[in-house]
Structures are given as structure tokens and as C-alpha cells.
Amino acid sequence: MCDHHDILRSDNKDLQSIEKQIDRRHFLKKTSLGIGALALGSLLNTEKAWSSIGNSSEGVNAFTRNKLGLPHHLPKAKRIIYLFQSGGPSQLDLFDYKPKLVDMFGKDLPESVIGGQRLTGMSGSQSTLPVAPSLFKFKQYGESRAWVSEIMPHLTEVVDDLCFVKSMQTDQINHTPAVTFMQTGHQLPGRPSIGSWLSYGLGSDNDNLPTFITLISKNGKGQPLKAGLWGNGFLPTEHQGVQFRSGKDPVLYLNNPDNYDGNDRKKMLDYLDKLNSIQHDAYGDPEIQARMTQYEMAFRMQTSIPEVTDTSDEPEHIFDMYGKDSRDPGTYAANCLMARKLLEKGVKFVQLYHQGWDQHIGCPGGVKNKARQTDQATAALIKDLKQRGMLDDTLVVWGGEFGRTVYSQGQLTKKNYGRDHHPKAFTMWMAGAGVKPGFTYGETDDFSYNVTKDPVHVHDFHATLLHLFGVDHERLTFKHQGRRYRLTDVHGHLVKDILT
């Protein structure tokens, strides 16, 4: 009785042909090299190892995709620092230079420019809306010849690394819904934040630290910030952002109580895990599993947090580059430095909030003070990431929830003016992974009031951000109460012209 392998060989002419072409030695040589190359590639850089397979969607195959099938295409960005300037920075006093306004000082803003747009109750009842040119001087810098105000001298040193988007638009005119909209894609609270979506879709690069961390400048004044801005919404709880605070306890309740050592904590968590497992088996609630995951993360963070929040080993020239405030924990400068350290440890999304950009009165003095607090450290962060070779795959975003009006809210004088909220034209910038450096996109009219070229809606910004991480914004969804939700809801277009 012949073996079934012999029957297979005798009946399969293609197999016989292959056997004639490949002897044992040749076969072992080829397969060993191929397997070795794949193994080495996966250790060094999975994305590059598979990018030669074909185009970006084919290059990311089952070997690199996670259980959600992400990323959808080869990502340019591995991590992000979002420098959120809460309150609405005045684009007119920082980046959107409008020299023709000088001749219109004090004249009423033409109704044709307003075009029936909604005004806030704070200035909508004014009898006049007098045009207020910026008090600050502007110059062009770098090879890109980008316009930057004199109150941001440090940022002028890195303009050729920045991609300015001067045609941003939002639907919201008041702070709370506008900030919520910018962070979650919806004006009402309860939706997942950007960082939570990325955590859910792409997972973590570090088992000992959260995927998504929030830092808030201490002693901030202005519009309040709520935890929902970095919340997980209806996504599993482990994707919620974790706020780090300044001081000896960056994360509350993480340290062991007095007379309670690590062994006790471990035993307690083990027993708690058993109880939660029984509960999960009985009810199947995924939030029980999420809670167990969070307890385990908290235990590991007891050793990882002290190390990553300790900046004492940073060299003097780094502190000098970020500025004197970088030695004071909790300041914007210190948080920028902390953000870089967190990225180095594998944190995917770091969100910085800096409050106080809401200058309804005393705009020149207020915006100048905010620029002083943030300018040097912001530029230093770009330089620091670049010198460490991290800017190529790190996305840096700077911006607020909306812009400011060209007309003065309240009394206008030669040296003072206020600016109200303006949602239909404002400036943000990005730098790093996948965006064009030294590039300006979009244009506004002579009043910085209306977008005249290449508008970018908040939903478009979100779609583009996700794209840089290898995610198709229309395909990253989560089913909740019978409906599939996404960050961009049912909107959003990729802004291809700003991508490399």
C-alpha cells in the first residue's frame, strides 16, 4: 500500500515541477533567510519591513494590524503632543498679518464682511464694531517666509518646521461647547476624546504607563477645564486620559498608604482580581474587565511614575533651552519637558492645556503675557524632538478652540482693545510626522474674518490627524446604543495638501 504523499506527488504535476527546481539545500537556504529577515524586520521596524510589499494599504498586513484591523495604512506618526491653548488665541496678534487694517483703525467693520454671522452677547449689542489693528509688529522668517508677531521671538527660529493652517473653522462660538467640540468632535459632553479614540484604535506602546496623559499648567486662570475633555465617553474605561499633576503625587491615590507595603498591595489586587473575575463570569460586563486592567496598570505605575516624572537628570542646557520656568514643576515649560520624557517612554498621546487666552479686554497685554509664558518652551520642544530624531514620527499640534474678532469689544484706544470670540477664521499649526514643514495653508480676507481659500473645519482637522496615525476616520467606529459612532461623526475630509 503506497503512502498518500506518493499519490499526491504523482498526481500533481505542478508540485513535481517545483521539486525539480528546488533541492533540499536550496530550499533551506531560501526559507531560513526569508524567515530571518522577517523576524529581524519585526524587531527593528515592523512598518518598514512590510512597506516593500506594495502600496500603503497592502504594506500593513495581518502581521502588523491589531485585532481591530488597524492601522488601515502605514502611519507617519507614532505619537503626538497636543499643545492646547485654552481660551482662543488671537490669530490677528500672532500669525495672521493684516497690514491694511492700519488705515481702518476705529472704522466700523463693514456689514458685508460680517455677512450675517452670529455674534456673542458680549459684543453683539455694541452700537459700533470698530476695527482694531494689532499693536504688534510682524516680520517674515525662515526660508518659508512665514509671518510671525514680535511677541513670539523663539518660535521664529523653528518656522521652517511648522505647517500653519490659517483657515480653521468651527461651529461653536462659546468656550465650553467649542473646547468640547475641538477635543471630542461634538459640542455636547459625553463623546470620547481624540486621545481615547487613538488609545482604543491603536493600543499602547508601553505596559507601565497610560496611553493617553493630560498635563495642565498650574495656576491657570480663565475658562474651566473639565475631565470630560480627556474622557473615554462610551469607549472602555481603560482608554480614558490620565491627568498628571505637579508636586510629589503626579497621580492621586497611587502611592501606598502609611505602613502598607508593595506586597500587601499585590495580595490585595490578586484577591480583588479573583472577585472581579467571578463577577465578570457571572454578568459578562466588559467594564469589569476594564476595571481589572486599570488596577493592574495602577500597580505598575507605582514604579514607573516616579522615574518618568523625575527631571533631575536632565542636563543644564536642556533646562536653559526650555527656559527658567522648566525648573518649576507644573508650569507650561515644565510640562513641555515632561511631555518629551513621556513620549520617550512610549506614551502615545500627551495633551497639554494652557489656560488664559481669553482676552475680551486688555488684549495686547494679555496675549503678550500668554506668549511670554509659552513661546520659548514651545520652540524648545520642537528643537528638542528634532535633535533627538523624534520629530520625524512625532506630531506636534498647537491651537485653541476658536479665534478672535478684528473689531474691538469694548472701548478702543490707540494702545488698547479687546477681542471677542470668532469661530469662522483662526490659525493653528502642526509640525513633525507627515505634515509639510515650512508651509502655510489657507487664507483669510483682509480682516481675518472670513476664510477666502482652503477652509479647514474641525472635522477635517480630526480626519487628517487620524490619517497621520494610519487610521481612516470613516472606518474607526464604536457601536453604542445601536449606533456606530466615530470621532468625525458623519463629516470630515482629509486635508491632503498639507501632507508630505
Segments making up each domain of the chain, as ranges: 79-249+316-486
Secondary structure (DSSP) of 215-265: EE-TT--SS---GGGG--TTS-GGGS-EEE-SSS-SSTT-SPPTT--HHHH
Interatomic CA distance for residues 38 and 64, integer angstroms: 12
Residue 396 in contact with residue 344, Cβ under 8 Å? no
Ramachandran bin of 456, using left for φ above 0, alpha for ψ from -120 to 50, beta for the remaining angles: beta
Specify the pLDDT at position 302. Answer: 75
From the list 426, 407, 339, 419, the residue with the least C-alpha distance to 377 is 339
The rounded Cα 79 to chain-centroid distance in angstroms is 8
Specify the pLDDT at position 7. Answer: 41
Interatomic CA distance for residues 42 and 48, integer angstroms: 9
pTM as predicted: 0.85
Residue 359 in contact with residue 419, Cβ under 8 Å? yes
Interatomic CA distance for residues 104 and 59, integer angstroms: 56
Could you read off the pLDDT of 368-377 as tens digits, one per residue?
A: 999 999 999 9
Ranges under pLDDT 70 in the chain: 1-63, 253, 262
Interatomic CA distance for residues 125 and 67, integer angstroms: 55
Identify the CATH assignment for 79-249+316-486 out of 3.40.720, 2.60.40, 3.10.560, 3.40.50: 3.40.720
Assigned C-alpha cell, 108:
466700523
- Give SS3 for 103: helix
Residue 190 in contact with residue 203, Cβ under 8 Å? no
Specify the pLDDT at position 43. Answer: 44
Could you read off the pLDDT of 175-198 as tens digits, one per residue?
A: 999 999 999 999 999 999 999 999
